Structure 1
């Protein structure tokens, strides 16, 4: 029987983390599994707890949103430890990409008896933060600004925080001049954002990269070039279905490594967390993580 360590972010999901874990933990324990719960004091502490649990041979459960999933999964990338996700955040986009069940009994069955699958991770390198690893995507532009606004929206939850954050970001956005280098090939573009996607989803269910696969050893680099704000809002609506790829302003390049630079100070985000300012390099880590999905 498996032994689990649940790493809970009490801040990201608020009471949702405990609410999601409680019924699941009871089902796991009723089946004979060991379940210990660790509350993180921040992302660095969560990484430390996850690594220690993995070294002890325990299945590590990331309880929270995409930030916690990327943090804990990134900490385990390159090891033989096994990750499980307990979606309890606002977006839960990586869990959505893996088609994880949300009902506690179905998720418990997967965690107890599912076979680990190898998936890719993303190594993120910047001058400020050095090298870390995440799971879903790295994005630099209006979406990172929107994500920052959403994280600061204490009075709003779920989709409302993303919608309001996106509206504030787009209304105040000036198109940026990007230099994007994919596997050594440079591209000069002016526009709204550059996204290096391992997963197809980001930003609360938006299909930014519909053809992205978490186990193909490649990143889908999506560039949304300069357009009127009205057209950009149309593109944002089309992200729900993935039909934005038909627009000439949307370009996808696939590769193993991308470096994103800009002509002015711009933030970048990774798995729901806004990290720092450009430049940033993202490179795929093929098959780096074992996950129950």
Structure 2
């Protein structure tokens, strides 16, 4: 087990700190670290794709959310918005633009090497270790960092007009259980696509792939504070 300290203001959307319940105030964060003798444990998600592998603490995803991450990472306004502590608005604006340009795709999903599901007209498939991604969007309300499982959220089989209404429910986590939203819990998930799709790990986009595997790693991290 490895120990580390989190900067609560790291990243465009502060999703890690938000998901762990950490204060954005550096002084409050320091007091929490000094007062916490045991720390918190978080599982580490591992991802594998052809010619690429990595890990994530918050989330990983394929399709729309990964494409939005790719667009945000290449946006000229990203650094300015982050300095102004308005990174969430960057995700929101680009997210709406990316929705209309998104190409739906088919996915064959294999869970824990046994259960198989087929989805058509998929907008995205995301894997979560913490509830939030994309600057405070509560894609996976039930995700827990230390339970040894990943939570999946797949949106498929609905029109883009309905997707707009559906995505408006995501900030409060009210999309779970709606038509076109599929949720799973597993230790390992394999995604097979006919065409390469954008893929991200905690907002970093290594490329586009037809086969991606996500799973819980063998080592945990312990966070001070």
Query: Taking structure 2 as the reference length, what is the TM-score of the superposition?
Result: 0.89
CA distance in 2, matches of 1:270, 1:226: 25
Q: Deviations over 1:166-198 (max 9, x none)?
A: 122211112100111111211110210111111
Richer in strand (by share):
2
**Contact 1:267–1:277 (CA under 8 A) maintained in structure 2:** yes
Map of 1:224 onto structure 2: 155
Q: Distance in 2 between matches of 1:168 and 1:120?
A: 33
Q: CA deviation at 1:286?
A: 6.0
Q: Is the 8 A contact 2:47 2:214 kept in 1?
A: yes
User: SS at 1:108's partner residue?
Assistant: helix
1:188 maps onto 2:188 in alignment? no
Contact 1:119 1:286 in 2 (8 A): no
Partner-residue secondary structure (3-state), 1:139: strand
Structure 1 unaligned spans of 5+: 1-79
Q: Does 1:280 align with 2:212?
A: yes
Q: Which runs of 5+ in 2 are unaligned?
A: 82-86
RMSD after superposition: 1.5
- Which among 89, 106, 120 is matched to residue 177 of structure 1? 106
Q: Which has the larger radius of gyration?
A: 1
In the other structure, the counterpart of 2:146 is 215
SS of 2:140's equivalent in the other structure is coil
> Which string of whole-angstrom CA distances, capped at 9 and with x for unpartnered residues, describes residues 77-100 of structure 1?
xxx331111123321101100011
Structure 1 residues 182 and 175: alpha-carbon distance in aligned structure 2, compared to 1, 3 A threshold = same
1:202 corresponds to which residue? Answer: 133
Q: Comparing 236-245 with 113-122, which one deviates more in the overlay?
A: 113-122
Matched, 1:84 2:14: no
2:178 paired with 1:256: no
Residue of structure 1 equivalent to 2:69: 147
Aligned to 2:84: none
Higher helix proportion: 1
Could you tell me how far 1:287 is from its partner in structure 2?
6.1
Report what 1:161 is aligned to: 90
Aligned residues: 213
Superposition map of 1:1-293 within 5 A: 80-86=1-7, 87-114=9-36, 115-129=38-52, 131-156=53-78, 157=81, 158-184=87-113, 185-190=115-120, 191-278=122-209, 279-285=211-217, 288-293=220-225
Separation in structure 1 between the aligned mates of residue 13 and residue 72 of structure 2, nearest angstrom: 11
Deviates further, 80-89 or 181-190: 80-89
